[in-house]
Amino acid sequence: MQSSFQHKQAAHCENGAIVNLLQNKGFTISEPMAFGLGSGLFFVYLPFIKVNHAPAISYRPMPGQIFNRLAKHLGIKIKRRKFSNPQKAQQALDENLKQNIATGLLVGVYHLPYFPDEYRFHFNAHNIVVFGKENGRYLVSDPVLDYTVSLSEAELEKVRYAKGALAPNGHMYQLERIPEKFDWSPAIRKAIKKTCRDMLAPVPIVGVKGMRMVAKAIVKWHKKSGAVKANYNLANMIRMQEEIGTGGGGFRFIYAAFLQEAGEYLQNDDLINLSKEMVEIGDKWRDFALEAARVVKKRSNTENVYQVLSNQLLHIADLEESFYKKLKKAI
Amino acid sequence: MKENEVPQDESPISKKGSTELVYAVDENGKMTAVQSKGWKPKSEIQYQNLEHLNQLTEQARQNVLEGKCSPVVYYMELHKMDWQTLAAYMKSWTFFIKRHQKPSVFKKLSDKTLQKYADIFEISVDDLKNFKG
């Protein structure tokens, strides 16, 4: 039983799991730092993969990537395990808990009973940390909530064995080895470079180019499939962008916080100035979400609403492109 | 976004008594973490989305009652699934699962298959066989 576990709320689940796992090993790291060092900022548009009938748009790298990158940059070793047999998965978890090892789990959101209905979709890459077991119930620290919750064995098995895209298959992870001292400066440099490379990648569906592709697609959705379908796709895009901190607007602010922290650490004023610029870009994303919400609610009186939205997104892509180019030089 | 601009609107998450964390600029120009109850445009989109899915479910219910498709479709929509997700839960291929939407094919399904569906949808086989809406 781990009674000493401290739960810390986070904007995004994966960062939160990292922060909580490290903190309980006695290493304090802020969420923005974890996000930045994990090169968490990303964008990818996958028109050929449908999620809830809408084309997939992701504002983050593949689940687990943020932690993996952070671990690589800081020299941490993570132990990850998957199980084809749910019983073995439970045994392994129980054993960890007996040894007082807080364990990260990848789970499906749909069957999590403590989430409101509006959040419960078949999305299988949510991170939680299990830190104890009391009276047959698992004590769970869900990073996006500001309190801890508990799940029964059956409930936990259900979410660990959610099916569909990115099925977690009982995926669990724990910290295996942490270096005695972290070497922050090279880690920060490498992580920022990685983010710039990702966002400026010469691939049409990734990074800034991916945003441009979505911008064009918004107009196409309307022309080809009508307003209902276009609104549905847009709604999904905004949900991906704003929901449980998995998205665009919120991520920009976290990254800005990271740049500020990094700038102070490296005593690099350019980074601090760029942090301010990132806040402005984050505000633009919020404006975009607001306008899209109006369109979805059919409250917008502007003509050619889809063209307006498209232009807004293109503008953001331009801003971000010049931003990452500057960031690359600043480091 | 400034610290005092962080939205504090009622939202699905605030109804559960939680908040969400967002990062904003405080009065000294520093980034800081702020708890937010929610943001109205986001909540509206979530409500709208749920509404849309409820409509699909209602439509499916009508279709099943009129004999146009099998109860599998209704329960699939009720659980916000699509064919790929349902097929993954059934450990089968989308092509086979999709055929089960035809009432004629559905009638011939074995009890074993029906039991699998019933377990996934958390209902009894009887509920599947005698759909009452």
Mean pLDDT (chain B) is 92
From the list A11, A167, A275, the residue facing B21 with the nearest CB is A11
pLDDT for the residue numbered A102: 94
Residues A168-226 pLDDT 10s: 999 999 999 999 888 899 999 999 999 999 999 999 999 999 999 999 999 999 889 88
pLDDT for the residue numbered A244: 55
**A291 in contact with chain B, both atoms CB, cutoff 8 A:** no
The answer to whether the Cβ–Cβ distance between A11 and B48 falls below 8 Å is no
Strands B20-25 and A103-107, sheet pairing: unpaired
The answer to whether the Cβ–Cβ distance between A117 and B50 falls below 8 Å is yes
**pLDDT classification of A132: cutoffs 50, 70, 90:** very high
pLDDT for the residue numbered B98: 96
Give the distance, in angstroms, between the CA of residue B106 and the centroid of all CA atoms in the same chain.
23
Choose between B47 and A150: higher pLDDT: A150
Distance CA A276, CA A263 (A): 11
Residues A217-269 pLDDT 10s: 999 998 898 888 888 898 888 887 776 555 667 899 999 999 999 999 999 99
CA distance A202 to chain B (A): 30
**A293 in contact with chain B, both atoms CB, cutoff 8 A:** yes
pLDDT for the residue numbered B105: 96
The string of DSSP codes covering B13-58 is HHHTT--EEEEEE-TTS-EEEEEE-B-HHHHHHHHHHHHHHHHHHH
Distance CA A325, CA A174 (A): 36
- The β-bridge partners of A130 are A103, A140
Q: Is the C-alpha dihedral spanning B106, B108, B114, B120 positive or negative?
A: negative
Residues B24-63 pLDDT 10s: 999 999 999 999 998 888 888 888 888 888 999 999 999 9
In chain A, positions 61-120, which contact chain B (CB-CB < 8 Å)? 110, 114-120
pLDDT for the residue numbered A1: 46
Please list, in sequence order, all residues whose beta carbon lies within 8 angstroms of the beta carbon of residue A214, skipping any fewer than 6 positions away: A45, A57, A237, A313
DSSP letter, residue B102: S
pLDDT for the residue numbered A161: 96
Taking the whole predicted model, whether its pTM rises above 0.90 is answered as: yes
In chain B, positions 23-82, which contact chain A (CB-CB < 8 Å)? 23-25, 29-33, 35, 39, 41-50, 52, 79-82
pLDDT for the residue numbered A236: 85
pLDDT for the residue numbered A245: 52
Q: Which of A223, A254, A229, A250 is nearest to A239 (CA)?
A: A250
pLDDT for the residue numbered A246: 55
The answer to whether the Cβ–Cβ distance between A144 and B21 falls below 8 Å is yes
Query: Is residue A320's pLDDT more than 90?
Result: yes
Please list, in sequence order, all residues whose beta carbon lies within 8 angstroms of the beta carbon of residue A305, skipping any fewer than 6 positions away: A295
CA distance A22 to chain B (A): 19
**Mean pLDDT, to the nearest integer, of A89-94?**
96
Mean pLDDT (chain A) is 91
Cα A223–Cα A228–Cα A233 angle in degrees, nearest 5? 80
pLDDT for the residue numbered A248: 66
pLDDT for the residue numbered A277: 96
**A34 in contact with chain B, both atoms CB, cutoff 8 A:** no
Distance CA A244, CA A267 (A): 32
End-to-end Cα, chain B, rounded Å: 48
3-state secondary structure chain A: CCCCCCCCCCCCHHHHHHHHHHHCCCCCCCHHHHHHHCCCCCCEEEEEEEECCEEEEECCCCCCHHHHHHHHHHCCEEEEECCCCHHHHHHHHHHHHHCCCCEEEEECCCCCCCCCHHHCCCCCCEEEEEEEEECCEEEEECCCCCCCEEEEHHHHHHHHCCCCCCCCCCCEEEEEECCCCCCHHHHHHHHHHHHHHHHCCCCCCEHHHHHHHHHHHHHHHHHHHHHHHHHHHHHHHHHHHHHHHCCHHHHHHHHHHHHHHHHHHHCCHHHHHHHHHHHHHHHHHHHHHHHHHHHHCCCCCCCCHHHHHHHHHHHHHHHHHHHHHHHHHHC
**Mean pLDDT, to the nearest integer, of A14-23?**
93
CA distance A94 to chain B (A): 26
The answer to whether the Cβ–Cβ distance between A117 and B43 falls below 8 Å is no
Q: Is A204 exposed, middle or buried (0-12, 13-18, 19+ CB in 10 A)?
A: exposed
Question: Which residues in A lie closer than 8 A to residue B44 (C-beta atoms)?
Answer: 293, 296-297
Residues B60-101 pLDDT 10s: 999 999 999 999 999 999 999 989 999 999 999 999 999 999
Nearest chain A residue (CA) to B94 = A164
